Amino acid sequence: MTSRTQETIELDARHVAHNYSPLPVVAASAEGVWITDVEGRRYLDCLAAYSAVNFGHRNPEVTATAHAQLDAVTLVSRAFHSDRLAPFCAALAELCGKDMVLPMNSGAEAVESGIKVARKWGTDVKGVRDSNIVVAQNNFHGRTTTIISFSDDETARRGFGPYTPGFRSVPFGDADALARTIDENTVAVLLEPIQGEAGIIVPPDGYLPRVRALCTERNVLMIADEIQSGLARTGRTFACDHWGVVPDIYLLGKALGGGVMPLSAVVADRHILGVLHPGEHGSTFGGNPLAAAIGSTVVAMLARGEFQERSTELGEHLHRRLGNLIGHGVLAVRGKGLWAGVDIDPVHGTGKEVSLRLAERGVLVKDTHGSTLRFAPPLVITADEIDWAVDRFVEVLRG
């Protein structure tokens, strides 16, 4: 390893908490789908910061908005209004077909906020005292104490107790189990429409429509965590759109901030979000003018539909190319749009080992759950770039 890379990684080991295990690539700049490291080597980014960079690194429309807003106003807190927040919330609400937006920052905050809204709705509207929320097994919704309380990932949970009560977990994709688990104290069903961190798990076709119907029948809020699956990643604005399902609450994050600012949101109708009153919830940075300006640009870009179209068309290409590798080092390929979970035959090594070999060849992917690789490039990728990345993958599998 060359010296600047080595120096940075050693400094990192001394001073950065060891809560990640990054690939030995030190980014110095990035544009579109390409990241350049401190040695001047270029990598094709097939992770897109876990879908936070859906529109490409330093997307010109997003950076132009950010530059302009930096020269206007960046933060006033919610103690005052800004001229950016209301237009952003109005546009995002329209994109979602809902009335209102609660702006937050990280994805985990949006999930926490969604949980609080559902519990408050349960107390104020449904009249439930000891509420519960049903979640899916193998979920990933973030890292706060409450969220890890209903995770099945022992590494994420162990040692962080005591845990927050009030959650019940059922197998993802099993609507009968959900029907049996919902009771009169259930206020919400919280799930990822396609499970991302679990390995891009697409549910059976009838599942989400049945979840929707069950929630309606039992007076339970359906909360869709679209933080990773949403905002054009799967070829639709929301993954739920593939099944014609509209949840009661959308949780959004990652790409909403254009790869520039942390920006997340809870989006719902007034009869749900209206349960929050002054002082009951908040965030100093939530809905700040810089993030809101960027969010408005992102919503305008999504409203044009071109990123959804690119993801659909190029996603077909990506899935065709990866599908051809089944039986040649690949066991299975799942996903929708430019989002693919690839199970590697363990004879080729662990997911981490294959990721390292791919990085040596200039392709950045992230492993998840041992032997699954995730291909989720920025949606501005071209067909040639997809071919280039898959060709490098083929080389790695050939050894």
Ligand X SMILES: Cc1ncc(COP(=O)(O)O)c(C=O)c1O
Bond into 162 cis (ω within 30): yes
Is position 225 annotated as part of the catalytic site?
A: yes
Q: How many CB atoms lie within 10 A of CB 306?
A: 13
Place of tokens 């990598």: 43
User: Counting contacts by CB under 6 A, is residue 107 touching ligand X?
Assistant: yes
Place of tokens 């990652």: 254
User: Counting contacts by CB under 6 A, is residue 196 touching ligand X?
Assistant: yes
**Is 268 or 390 the residue whose CB approaches ligand X more closely?**
268
Kind and range of the H or E run holding 383: helix 383-398
- Which of 48, 62, 111, 373: binder of ligand X (CB under 6 A)? 111
- Which of 23, 49, 50, 362: binder of ligand X (CB under 6 A)? 50
The tokens of 158 are what? 């162990």
- Which of 112, 192, 248, 367: binder of ligand X (CB under 6 A)? 192
Bond into 377 cis (ω within 30): no
- Which of 46, 108, 273, 364: binder of ligand X (CB under 6 A)? 108
Stretch that binds ligand X, among 95-103, 190-198, 325-333, 346-354 (CB under 6 A): 190-198
User: Counting contacts by CB under 6 A, is residue 142 touching ligand X?
Assistant: yes
In whole angstroms, the minimum distance from the beta carbon of 53 to ligand X comes to: 13
- Which of 140, 250, 339, 375: binder of ligand X (CB under 6 A)? 140
C-beta separation of 226 from 193 below 8 A: yes
The tokens of 197 are what? 């961190």
3-state secondary structure of 246: coil
β-pair partners for 167: 133
User: Counting contacts by CB under 6 A, is residue 295 touching ligand X?
Assistant: no
3-state secondary structure of 288: coil
In whole angstroms, the minimum distance from the beta carbon of 207 to ligand X comes to: 17
User: Counting contacts by CB under 6 A, is residue 106 touching ligand X?
Assistant: yes
- Which of 84, 141, 233, 321: binder of ligand X (CB under 6 A)? 141
Q: Which of 37, 45, 225, 367 is catalytic?
A: 225
**Is 123 or 169 the residue whose CB approaches ligand X more closely?**
169
Q: What is the torsional sign of CA 125, 133, 266, 111?
A: positive
3-state secondary structure of 282: coil
Nearest-CA neighbor of 374 among 50, 20, 151? 50
Contact positions with ligand X (CB under 6 A) in 236-255: 253
Is position 120 annotated as part of the catalytic site?
A: no
- CA distance linking residue 135 with residue 150, whole number of Å: 8
Closest residue to ligand X in the complex (CB): 107
Q: Which of 37, 88, 120, 140 is catalytic?
A: 140
- Which of 92, 115, 227, 318: binder of ligand X (CB under 6 A)? 227
**Is 50 or 163 the residue whose CB approaches ligand X more closely?**
50
- CA distance linking residue 180 with residue 398, whole number of Å: 48
Nearest-CA neighbor of 295 among 333, 354, 255, 268? 255
Q: How many CB atoms lie within 10 A of CB 180?
A: 10
User: Counting contacts by CB under 6 A, is residue 207 touching ligand X?
Assistant: no
Kind and range of the H or E run holding 289: helix 289-304
In whole angstroms, the minimum distance from the beta carbon of 295 to ligand X comes to: 14
Stretch that binds ligand X, among 10-18, 220-228, 322-330, 358-366 (CB under 6 A): 220-228
Query: Side by side, which strands form the sheet with 34-37?
Result: 27-31, 34-37, 42-45, 363-364
Stretch that binds ligand X, among 7-15, 94-102, 134-142, 240-248 (CB under 6 A): 134-142
User: Counting contacts by CB under 6 A, is residue 208 touching ligand X?
Assistant: no
Residues annotated catalytic, as ranges: 140, 225, 254
Which stretches of the chain bind ligand X, using CB under 6 A?
50, 106-108, 111, 140-142, 192, 196-197, 225, 227-228, 253
